[in-house]
Amino acid sequence: MITGEGSADRQTLMGKLPYGILQRAKAHQVPVRLIAGRVLDRQVLLDAGFSRVDCINPPDFPLEEAMKPATAMLHISQTLSE
């Protein structure tokens, strides 16, 4: 299963939707991959149970450009093909 949010960090584990998805998926032994426009605390997220945690944007990519729908779709597609 794949879930995502704009910025993933330790606060993701405080009741945000991706964490709720993770909890339900874990109950059924379904791996969950988390993607986000920005990732902090990757190891904390992996330790919580996400099977993979990926940032869709290259390092130092301009936020203004990253927020464009076409750019986001391209980056998501590229990330998921890895």
The per-residue pLDDT for range 62-78, each reduced to its tens digit, is 999 999 999 999 999 99
Query: In this predicted model, what pLDDT tens digit does every residue of 15-26 receive, in sequence order?
Result: 999 999 999 999
7, 38 contact by CB (below 8 A): yes
pLDDT at residue number 1? 97
Q: CB pairs under 8 A, 24+ apart, for 66-71?
A: 66/37
Coil, strand or helix at 58: coil
pLDDT of residue 82: 86
Task: Read off the pLDDT of residues 40-52 as tens digits, 9 standing for 90 and up.
Answer: 999 999 999 999 9
Give yes or no for a contact between 62 and 38, defined as CB atoms under 8 angstroms apart: no
% residues pLDDT > 90 (the chain)? 98
The answer to whether the CB of 51 falls within 8 A of the CB of 70 is no
Q: What is residue 25's predicted lDDT score, i.e. its pLDDT?
A: 97
What length does the chain have? 82
pLDDT at residue 37, rounded to an integer: 96
